[in-house]
Chain A
Amino acid sequence: MAGLRSFAKADRSRKHRSPLHGISPLGAIAGSFLALLVIAAVLAPLIAPYSPTGNDLSATYQKPGLHHLLGTDEFGRDLLSRIIYGGRISLTGVGVAVVVYLILGATIGVVAGYVGGILDSVVTWVAEVCFALPGAVVILVLLATLGNNVTAAMLVLGLLAAPSLAVFMSGATKSVRAEMYIAAARVTGLRTRQILMRHVLPQVLAPLTVQLSLFAGTALLVQTGLDFLGLATQPPTASWGAMVSDGATHLGQDGWMVVPPGVVVMLSVMSFGLLGDALQDRRRERLKTPTPVNARPGGVPIAADDTDCRAASTTLDPQVVLTVRQLSVGTNDGGYTPIVDNVTFELRHGACIGIVGESGSGKTMTALSVIGLLPDGVAISAGTVTFAGRELVGSQRNDSAGVRGAGIAMISQEPVANLDPSFTVGAQVAEVVRRHSRASRRQAYAEALDLLTQVRLPNVKQIAKRYPHQLSGGMAQRVVIAAALAGKPQVLIADEPTTALDVTVQAEILELLRDLRAETGLAMILVSHDWGIIADSCDSALVMYAGQLVEESPIAEIFDRPRHPYSEGLMRSNPYYAPPSRSKLPSIPGNVPALGQWPLGCRFAARCQYATEDCRATSIELVRIDSDRWARCIHHDLVAAPQAGLAS
C-alpha cells in the first residue's frame, strides 16, 4: 500500500513534523518526560555519573548536592545513577507487559470483532475466565516457582490483561464494522486484511491508545510493587521499586531517600495517562471540520436593520396569532456565526405557512426559535417573537415555558424518538394533559383517549396501553400529534413531520393535519424541503436560503410564477417538471454556501443565472412585488415559471 502516499498530502506534511505536533502542552510535557526516561535508561552507561552499585561508605545518606545531584543512599550509592539504571529494569518490565497486552489483545479483539460469531464468543469466554483469576496470586505463584524472573512476571501480567483488551477492542471494532464505508470497501473487493488495516485500525486507534496508556501506568505500578516487596529484582541491582523499598526501610535515618524514586514512579504513571489523553484529543481535533474562515469574531451580532421594509410593513392585526420580526439566530459559543439572518413573517389564525429550504438554510432554526427550543450553543441574537400579544424573546423562562405546549406546540421528524420508551403512550399523553390542566389522573387519561381518537387511531383503548416501540412510524407520529394537541395550542410547528415516513403514511398524516386545522382553527408552520408537501398543505410559502428569507408568497402564485431565482431553480430541477424523455434536468450549479461563509452581496449570486455585478456589490433587500409577495432579488422580473421552456 505504498502507493497511497502521494494522496496523503495532509499526512505527509504531518509526518515531517515532530511526533508531538498538535498535542496539548501538558501532553507534550508528559511525552517528553517519558522519552527522557527511556533515552536515559538506554544510554545509562554513558550518562550516569556513577555506577549504580558502586558503594561509597564515606558519603552515605547525602542530601542533593554538587557531587550527587539527587543525593546518596545507605551505601553511598548515587541515587541519580540508580534511577537511570533502574529505569532499564522498570521500563523493560512495562514494555514487555504492554507489548504482550497490545499484540494479543488488539489483534485478537479486532479480528474477533470483525469476524464475529463463535470466535467472538470464545474471546468473551476466555476474558471472563481471566477476570475471575486472582491476578496477583497467579503472579506471586509464578515468581515463587520461576525464581524471581521479573520478565516472566510482566509477561504473564500482559497475558492476563490481554483478554479484557480483546473484548474492548472487539466492541469498538463491531461499531466500526457497522459503518457504511466498510460495506462499500467489501463491495470494492478489498480483502479482509486490507479492510482491517485501512478502515478498521485507524478508527479503533484512539480508544486503543487510551487503553494502552492506562495499562502502561498499571504495569509500572505492579512492577514497582513486586520490586518493593523484593519479589522480583534482587539487591544490589537498581530498580525503582527496590529503591522505594530501600528508602522506606531507612526512613528513620534519612527521609529523603524515598523521594527521588517515588517521584519518578508517580510522574511516570501520571505521564502515561496524560499522554494517552492528549493523543486522543489530538485525534479528535484533527477530525473536526475546519472552522469557517470568515466567521464573525468577537460575538458581535449583526444589528437588526431598522430600515428593512418588510419588517416595517407588519401591522398589529387581530387576525395575526404569531409575529416574528427581524429575527436573527447565531452560535454563541466561540464566536458568533449567523444561522438565521433578519427573518420577518406573521402567521394568521388558522393559516399554514410553509418554510422551504435546504440544509443550512436556517428553516429549522427559525421554527425552533419560535418555540424557544434552540439547541445548546445557539441563541436568538436579535429580533422579536410575539405570540398573542406576548413577547417571547427575552421573557422569563417560566413565561415562555407556559406558552410552549399550551400556546405553541411542536412535532418533529422522528416520532419514536420523541416518545419515552419506558411509558405507555396513553400514560405519556395523559402526562402532557396534566401539565396543562388541573385534571385528576383519571380525567387526564380519559382526555388522552379522546385526543388519541381525535388523531384517528383505531382501537384507542388498546393502543393507549402500548409502548412506543410497539407502534409503526405513522402511529407514533399520530401519538406525538395527540400529545401536541393536549395543551390546546393555537400554533403547531411541524418540522419535517413526515420525512421519516413512507409516502402512503405521509399522505395520511398530512390529511390528518389538514383536518385538524379545519376542525380546531389551528395555525401551522410546516418546515419541509419537499415542494409537494408545501403545495399540498400550505396557504403561503417562505423560501429560505443561507439564513435569509428570499421569497414570501401565497401558495398558488409561487408555483405559478416564482419571483426569486432560487425558488425557480428548485422547482425547475424537480424531475416532476422534466420532460418525459431522459433529457438533462435543469440544475442549480454549485453548493449552498457553508455557515459563516455567506457572501456580502446576494447570497445566491454565485449560483444564479441572472446575476450581475450589482447583485454582488451590496446586500439585497426584500422587494415588495405584490400586496402579499416579497422577493429578495433585483432581477425578479426575469424569473420564469418552472414549466416555461418545456416542449408542450
Chain B
Amino acid sequence: MTTTSGAGQAIHANVPRDRADESPLLEFDHLSVVYRGARRMRVSAVDDVSFSLLPGETVGLVGESGSGKTTIGSAAVGLAPVTAGKIRFEGQDVTHATGPKRRALSRKLQIIFQDPYSSLNPLRTIGQTLIEPLLVNGGTTRQQQTSAVSDMLSRVGLDPTAAGRYPANFSGGERQRVAIARALMASPKVVVCDEAVSALDLSVQAQVLNLLAELQRELDISYLFISHDLSVVRHMCDRVAVLYRGQIVELGEAGLIHDKALHPYTQALLTASPLPDPGAQRRLREKNRSALNPARPTASLKACRFANRCPLATDVCEQEAPELKAAPDGRLIACHHIAEAALLYSSRVEHTRDGPVNE
C-alpha cells in the first residue's frame, strides 16, 4: 500500500514498528462526513480523519458526544454519508460500495451496536435473526444453517435452544451475546464494536469483554472499538485514537495514551473519569480542579478546535490548527505545546494512584 500525500503517511506512522510492513485491513484515508441537518444546515461530524487497522488488531476510538467516533464506525459499514476521503478494505476502495459489492463486504465487515434491546427485532426468533447473514450470499442448506446457528450460540456462551426463543426472553447481557453472534455468523475479519458494552450492567460487562477478547484470539478478528470508557478501552485495545469534535487529537499505543497522555484534551478526559478508589480519586481531584477552561467562542475558523477550552492555549493555537504529527515516542499528536503538555501531565497525575498501572 503506498500513499502519496504527506498526511497519508501518517496513516502508518503509528503502526507498531514490528508490524510496519504489513498491509492494513481497514484504512480510513482523510475521511470526512457531513450530515445535512434541518434548514440545509451542514453538520461536520468527522473531518479529515486518517488511521488504519491491522489484521487481528484492536483500535479504540474514544471521545465525548460530538467527537465523531460513532460516525466513523457507521461510515465503515456504509451507514453514514462519506463526503470526502476514502475507506479501503484489504486495499480496495469501499467508500461508496453498494449492491453486490456491499453484500460481499458485509461478510467481512460487521458491527455490534450499543443497545442490545433495540438492535434485535422483537418479532423474530434468535435463530431467524442469526440466520440472516447466511441468507445474503445463499448457497447453504437449511441443515447447514441450523447447525451454524447452534455452533455460534454455544460459542458465545448461550444454549443452542435459544434459537427458538424471542429477544424478550433474554437479559441485556444475553442479547448482547446474540448481537455478537449475529456479527460473527459470516466469519468477518473486522467487527466495529460501537459502545458494545456501555448499556450492560457491570457484572455482565466483564463477561462480554472477555468473550470479545476470546473470540478475537480464536478467530483472529480485528476490532474497531468505540467507547467513552477509558479503562475499558485501555483494557481492550492495542492502539487508541482520541477524537475531539470530529478530528483525531492523539493516537498511539493504548498503554501510552492512557498512562502517559499528552494532549491536553486526553488529559482532561482521563482526569475527569472518576477512579473507583476513594484515596486516589481524592488526590486526582484536588490536583485537577478545572482541568478545562469554560468554553468560549473561538476566534477564527483556523484555530485549534480545542483552543477555547485548553488550559495551555496561546496565540498560535488561535491562529493555526496544529497538524497531527509523530512525537518521539511514536504516538501521533495534534498540539502546538507538547512539551508544556508533558509537564502539565506529570503535575496532574503523578502519585495519584497506587494501582498497578501508573508506576
Q: Which residues of A come within 8 Å of B, CB atoms?
A: 1-4, 6-11, 179-181, 183-191, 194, 198-199, 202-203, 287-290, 358-359, 458, 502-504, 506-507, 510-511, 529-536, 555-556, 559, 566, 569-571, 573-580, 582, 584-589, 591-592, 594, 607, 643, 646-648
B169 partner residues in chain A, CB cutoff 8 A: 289-290
A530 touches B278 (CB 8 A): no
B274: Cβ under 8 A from any A Cβ: yes
B201: Cβ under 8 A from any A Cβ: yes
Contact (A184, B113) CB under 8 Å given A504-B64, A504-B272, A585-B206: yes
Give the number of residue pairs across the A-B interface with Cβ within 8 Å. 239
Which residue of B has the minimal Cβ distance to A514? Answer: B285
Which residue of B has the minimal Cβ distance to A594? Answer: B171
A203 partner residues in chain B, CB cutoff 8 A: 121, 123
B149 partner residues in chain A, CB cutoff 8 A: 7
B164 partner residues in chain A, CB cutoff 8 A: 7-10
B235 touches A530 (CB 8 A): no
B120 partner residues in chain A, CB cutoff 8 A: 181, 184
Highest count of chain A CB atoms <10 Å: which of B137, B202, B231: B202
- Would you give the shortest CB distance from A223 to chain B, in whole angstroms? 34
Report B110-147 CB contacts with A as 1/0, cut-off 8 Å: 11010100111111111111011101110011100110
10 closest cross-chain pairs (CB), A and B: A7-B127, A189-B106, A532-B274, A573-B206, A587-B206, A9-B164, A531-B276, A575-B235, A358-B201, A502-B64
B65 touches A4 (CB 8 A): no
A8 partner residues in chain B, CB cutoff 8 A: 125, 127-128, 164
Q: Identify which of B78, B104, B235 contacts A187 (C-beta below 8 A).
A: B78
Which residue of B has the minimal Cβ distance to A289? Answer: B168
Cα A259 to Cα B131 in complex, Å, equals 56
Cα A290 to Cα B168 in complex, Å, equals 8
Q: Identify which of B106, B229, B294 contacts A188 (C-beta below 8 A).
A: B106
B129 partner residues in chain A, CB cutoff 8 A: 181
* Additional pairs, 18, CB under 8 Å, beyond known A187-B77, A188-B110, A202-B124: A4-B128, A7-B146, A181-B118, A186-B78, A187-B78, A189-B106, A189-B107, A189-B186, A202-B121, A290-B168, A503-B269, A504-B64, A535-B277, A569-B203, A574-B231, A587-B203, A589-B207, A592-B203
B113 partner residues in chain A, CB cutoff 8 A: 180, 183-184
- Would you give the shortest CB distance from A259 to chain B, in whole angstroms? 44
Q: Could you write out 26 A-B pairs with CB less than 8 Å apart?
A: A3-B140, A7-B126, A9-B164, A10-B164, A180-B113, A181-B118, A183-B119, A184-B182, A188-B136, A189-B136, A190-B132, A198-B128, A203-B121, A502-B64, A503-B228, A503-B269, A504-B291, A532-B276, A532-B281, A534-B276, A535-B275, A535-B277, A569-B203, A582-B235, A582-B236, A648-B356
B24: Cβ under 8 A from any A Cβ: no
- Would you give the shortest CB distance from B352 to chain A, in whole angstroms? 13
A359 touches B203 (CB 8 A): no
B279: Cβ under 8 A from any A Cβ: yes
- Would you give the shortest CB distance from B44 to chain A, in whole angstroms? 18
B79 touches A186 (CB 8 A): yes
B171 touches A199 (CB 8 A): no
The interface-forming segment of B10-18, B172-180, B338-346 is: B172-180
B271 partner residues in chain A, CB cutoff 8 A: 507
Which residue of A has the minimal Cβ distance to B172? Answer: A359
- Would you give the shortest CB distance from A504 to chain B, in whole angstroms? 4
B229 partner residues in chain A, CB cutoff 8 A: 575
B347: Cβ under 8 A from any A Cβ: no
B123 touches A571 (CB 8 A): no
B165 touches A10 (CB 8 A): yes
- Would you give the shortest CB distance from A63 to chain B, in whole angstroms? 52
Which residue of B has the minimal Cβ distance to A360? Answer: B201
- Would you give the shortest CB distance from A342 to chain B, in whole angstroms? 22
B234: Cβ under 8 A from any A Cβ: yes
Which residue of A has the minimal Cβ distance to B121? Answer: A181
Highest count of chain B CB atoms <10 Å: which of A179, A531, A575: A575
Which residue of A has the minimal Cβ distance to B207? Answer: A587
| Residues of B within 8 A of A (CB-CB), count | 92
Report B135-167 CB contacts with A as 1/0, cut-off 8 Å: 111001110011001000000000000011110
Q: Identify which of A536, A578, A588 contacts B235 (C-beta below 8 A).
A: A578
B125 touches A10 (CB 8 A): yes
- Would you give the shortest CB distance from B189 to chain A, in whole angstroms? 14
Q: Which residues of B come within 8 Å of A, CB atoms?
A: 64-65, 77-79, 102-107, 109-111, 113, 115, 118-129, 131-133, 135-137, 140-142, 145-146, 149, 163-166, 168-169, 171-174, 179, 182, 186, 201-207, 209-210, 213-214, 228-229, 231-232, 234-236, 255, 268-269, 271-279, 281, 285, 289, 291-292, 294, 355-357
Contact (A507, B272) CB under 8 Å given A183-B113, A573-B203, A585-B210: yes
B171 touches A591 (CB 8 A): yes
- Would you give the shortest CB distance from A569 to chain B, in whole angstroms? 6
Contact (A532, B275) CB under 8 Å given A7-B146, A359-B201, A582-B235: yes
Cα A502 to Cα B232 in complex, Å, equals 16
Cα A175 to Cα B122 in complex, Å, equals 14
A531 partner residues in chain B, CB cutoff 8 A: 202, 276
B356 touches A646 (CB 8 A): yes
Which residue of B has the minimal Cβ distance to A532? Answer: B274
Cα A592 to Cα B229 in complex, Å, equals 23
Cα A588 to Cα B205 in complex, Å, equals 9
Which residue of B has the minimal Cβ distance to A510? Answer: B274
Which residue of A has the minimal Cβ distance to B105? Answer: A189
Cα A533 to Cα B107 in complex, Å, equals 41
Which residue of B has the minimal Cβ distance to A502? Answer: B64
B272 touches A573 (CB 8 A): no
A607 partner residues in chain B, CB cutoff 8 A: 203
Cα A510 to Cα B126 in complex, Å, equals 41
Contact (A533, B136) CB under 8 Å given A8-B125, A576-B355, A592-B201: no
- Would you give the shortest CB distance from B294 to chain A, in whole angstroms? 7
Cα A534 to Cα B274 in complex, Å, equals 9
A529 partner residues in chain B, CB cutoff 8 A: 201-202
Cα A191 to Cα B64 in complex, Å, equals 34
Which residue of A has the minimal Cβ distance to B114? Answer: A180
Which residue of A has the minimal Cβ distance to B213? Answer: A582
Cα A569 to Cα B294 in complex, Å, equals 38
Contact (A189, B133) CB under 8 Å given A290-B169, A536-B285, A584-B210: yes
A1 partner residues in chain B, CB cutoff 8 A: 135
A535 touches B278 (CB 8 A): yes
A591 partner residues in chain B, CB cutoff 8 A: 171, 173-174, 204
A190 partner residues in chain B, CB cutoff 8 A: 132, 135-136
Which residue of A has the minimal Cβ distance to B280? Answer: A535
B276 touches A574 (CB 8 A): yes
Cα A534 to Cα B127 in complex, Å, equals 41
A507 touches B128 (CB 8 A): no
A358 touches B202 (CB 8 A): yes
A181 touches B132 (CB 8 A): no
B202 partner residues in chain A, CB cutoff 8 A: 358, 529, 531, 570, 573-574
Highest count of chain B CB atoms <10 Å: which of A6, A9, A359, A510: A6
B289 partner residues in chain A, CB cutoff 8 A: 511
B277 partner residues in chain A, CB cutoff 8 A: 535, 559, 576
Which residue of A has the minimal Cβ distance to B353? Answer: A576
Cα A198 to Cα B127 in complex, Å, equals 13
A359 partner residues in chain B, CB cutoff 8 A: 172, 201
A532 partner residues in chain B, CB cutoff 8 A: 273-276, 281
A594 partner residues in chain B, CB cutoff 8 A: 171
- Would you give the shortest CB distance from A539 to chain B, in whole angstroms? 10
